[in-house]
Chains A and B, each alone.
Chain A
Amino acid sequence: MSLQNAIGHNGNGNGHNGAVPGTNSTGVVITHSTTPLPAGVHLPLYMDNHATTPLDPRVLEAMMPYLTGKFGNAASRNHQFGWEAEKAVEIAREQIARLIGASAKEIIFTSGATESDNLALKGIAEMYRERGNHIITQATEHKAILDTCKKLEKQGFRVTYLPVLADGLIDLDDLRRAIVTEGPEKTILVSIMFANNEIGVIQPIAEIGKLCHEKGVFFHTDAVQAVGKVPVDVQAMNIDVLSISAHKLYGPKGVGALYVRRRNPRVQITEQINGGGHERGMRSGTLNVPGIVGLGAACEICMSEMAAEAQRETELRDNLRAKLEAALDYVQVNGNMEHHLPGNLNMSFVYVEGESLLMGINDIAVSSGSACTSATLEPSYVLKALGLGDEIAHSSIRFGLGRFNTKAEVDYVADKIIEVVRKLRELSPLYEMVQEGIDLTKIEWAAH
């Protein structure tokens, strides 16, 4: 009934025979498992699609000619090699623009979303410094935004970090109050992410855009997790600047884009990289033609498959959640589930520490908000921003379902999580105390 032997598991016992488990070819320890491996499920199993997504074979196929024979520089204006490269880049520009309701001329290619975020924030801050020195963002942004804002603060800009509500969404009234419309402290930019990379919540982007538009403030959104997964329309949503990454939507790593609005209002950004004046002067450097072709192809696939895929992933995710909630007590879902990415599920398995849980399921790639998985020993700042206790963050697991995950995989992951959570709760003094009716908040814990 089990394929465990076939995949190198020690299938000869109950996992308590004292033998040291084997390791796979990467040196990662594979622990014993009593959860059967269904047909069609292969280990290790990838379910961490917010970190990165696998390259879609159709995207690779589109890229291949530009990694081989069609190697021209898109800036070479006087021969065929340059022309075919330039043509490919312009097709990709169209494909990306179409997915987000922009026009092709509004797309600037970058090395990825971190660069796009840097270019958007620093480029606007520098260009509009005379207009005002105030920028608004929020607490659960990606570090590409938060660290850039810290840098701008050092340069004299004032940055407001809006808090989030317990469900992870910002309060629009907080934003309205934070916008300064006059004087030297005038707000020049609001940067609020579209969808969160840890808890998957989708901010009220259209409402934010409308508000910014009314107040005459530029609106940037880091839409890395949203583009290609949920509908994004820069016109309907009044988005002025938007960051995209290819490797989050089944494209290659090392390429991204920045949408910069050209009219109503026209947004100008000061370039951060000089040398050659590529991308209308906003981003110099020879274009990554195969990467750009890949990003374009990835966008086109998302555009045609989004509706069906979103429904499929939502069903899988709801299935996973239902199975876990039915089998285990003391679990909680983190983040608003109504305004949510299809493939995201962030759950806390209370009284079980996240890293020990990952250790027990190490043939499955997911993430934890536990401190122990980070170099800083600080638990996830995103979960902390929701006002959850640190112990909830320490117990959290992020499941990131994607295009290539199947129902059989979801069932396997659920069974495995249930097995390991039960085992670790047998080991957990907190779980035992709660079962005995002890209120853990009444205990004077010694901080260490």
Chain B
Amino acid sequence: MAYSDKVVDHYENPRNVGTLDKSCGSVGTGLVGAPECGDVMRLQIRVNPQTQVIEDAKFKTFGCGSAIASSSLATEWVKGRTVTEALTISNTDIVKELALPPVKIHCSVLAEDAIRAAIGDWKKKNGVAEEAHAEVAVAS
């Protein structure tokens, strides 16, 4: 399978790999996918309580190169945005940026799910009302 240069770049040099303290109130954690499906993404955000700006984001992914690239890209894109802005990131943006082939579109869907799950977790912790469009696929 041929990978786009951008997928290879994220695979070779993944951005923002790591772990934030999930017990911390300002951290939201999204864990999506399943080991038996061959894809698990964990995306974490640290949100400034005053501005609601995502100041840090980390990820770890079990999955193919496209899954790694999608989640790596997602961390880059959410950083510096408010949670409301971050919720506008859609999987089609990821597909376009990484030039994912049709067989890899599910990787981008999972990355979008991970963003929504992380934000949903943060909102739940901080008593922020869930908006209708921000339904999340929390893994547990």
Contact = CB atoms under 8 A, between A and B. Distances in A.
Chain B interface main SS type = mixed
B34 A447 contact: yes
A20 B5 contact: yes
Contacts of B80: none
A356 B33 CA distance: 16
A444 B3 contact: no
Contacts of A28: 2
Kindly state the interface size class of chain B when it binds its partner: 35 or more
A117 to B, nearest CB: 28
A448 B91 CA distance: 15
Interface residues of A, number: 43
Contact of B36 (A428, A429, A432, A445): A445
A34 to B, nearest CB: 12
B68 A427 contact: yes
B64 A370 contact: yes
A32 B12 CA distance: 8
A448 B34 contact: yes
A429 B61 contact: yes
Interface string B98-140: 0000010010011001000000000000000000000001111
B32 A448 contact: yes
A431 B37 CA distance: 16
Contacts of B1: 373
A351 B62 contact: yes
Nearest to B42: A429
Contact of B33 (A352, A431, A446): A446
A50 interface: no
Interface in A154-205: none
A29 B8 contact: yes
Contacts of A429: 31, 40-42, 60-62
Interface of A: 15-16, 18, 20-21, 27-29, 31-32, 351-356, 359-360, 370-373, 375, 377, 379, 389-391, 394, 426-432, 440, 443-448
Interface of B: 1-3, 5, 8-9, 11-14, 17, 19, 31-42, 60-65, 67-68, 103, 106, 109-110, 113, 137-140
